[in-house]
Copies of this chain bind each other. A is one copy, B any other.
Amino acid sequence: MQLHLTTWQEVETYLEQSSGIILPIGSTEQHGPTGLIGTDTICAEAIARGVGEATNSLVAPTINVGMALHHTAFPGTISLRPSTMIATIKDYLTCLAKAGFKKFYFINGHGGNIATLKAAFSETYYYLSEINLPHAEQVQCKIGNWFMCPSVYKLAKKLYGNQEGSHATPSEVALTQYVYPEFIKQAPLSEKVASGYPIYSASNFRSRYPDGRMGSNPALATPEHGQQFYELAVKDLSNSYLEFINAE
């Protein structure tokens, strides 16, 4: 069930049997010469919907802009500041918690979101107790990073070895190729690719990683790989979600 395709009365009925909800979160940021700007969002959304179907649970609209300030020296990137993102996540969770939701499972497509998401959860738990929400104590949030699923990680290693890299990776590009085969991009990719530099400011990032890739060779990606990644991620995260909502 996708929240945007339900009615409020269906949500009311859903809440009678579950207080869990899945929130896909991605990013709108450069992904190298051949990666789609929406890569993180596309992956998170597709997998979240797969998990929603597999577990018969509700999936919120995708948060498609996240924390990507370090990519903003490349055109097309849109990012929230961390403080804005905290306010945004707090607003989302407050609305949903007031309606009766208690278990919030974020399916995340972007490593850069993790720190701010965690900060936002802390901020929100505290806030919900300050507004005296009756079930504030029961509100729980968890992040499921599809790209960190053991099965996904293993397959990426097997298929790409070191050429997986850490941004604009063949695994995430493959997944977008599976979802959008009509948008597979071709562009020259230099054989040498920067890697290993820490992430600081946006302009520093662009000077270190001039084409946007971090150690990756996305030319290895295929839609067939993408399907495999998709299926592994859905399976792993479905189990993770069920475990989460069934825990006390």
A102-124 vs B, CB cutoff 8 Å, 1 = contact: the mask equals 00000000001011111111110
Q: Is the interface of A mostly helix, strand, loop or mixed?
A: helix
Tell me the smallest distance from the CB of A19 to a CB of chain B, in Å.
Answer: 11
Neighbour of A86 across the interface among B83, B183, B202, CB < 8 A: B83
**Number of residues on chain A facing chain B (CB within 8 A):** 92
Tell me the smallest distance from the CB of A8 to a CB of chain B, in Å.
Answer: 4
Check if B132 sits within 8 Å of A132, measured CB to CB. yes
A25-43 vs B, CB cutoff 8 Å, 1 = contact: the mask equals 0001011111111100110
Check if A119 sits within 8 Å of B119, measured CB to CB. yes
Check if A6 sits within 8 Å of B80, measured CB to CB. no
Check if B8 sits within 8 Å of A77, measured CB to CB. yes
Check if B7 sits within 8 Å of A35, measured CB to CB. yes
Bound Cα distance from A137 to B139, whole angstroms: 25
Bound Cα distance from A141 to B199, whole angstroms: 9
Residue of B nearest to A128 (CB): B201
> Which residues of chain A in 2-26 are interfacial with respect to chain B, using CB atoms and an 8 Å cutoff?
2-12, 15
Check if A129 sits within 8 Å of B6, measured CB to CB. no
Q: Does A60 lie at the interface of the complex (its beta carbon under 8 Å from any beta carbon of B)?
A: yes
Known: A7-B35, A83-B123, A115-B115. 9 other contacts (CB 8 A): A3-B38, A7-B34, A64-B64, A69-B122, A75-B99, A77-B99, A81-B87, A84-B91, A112-B122
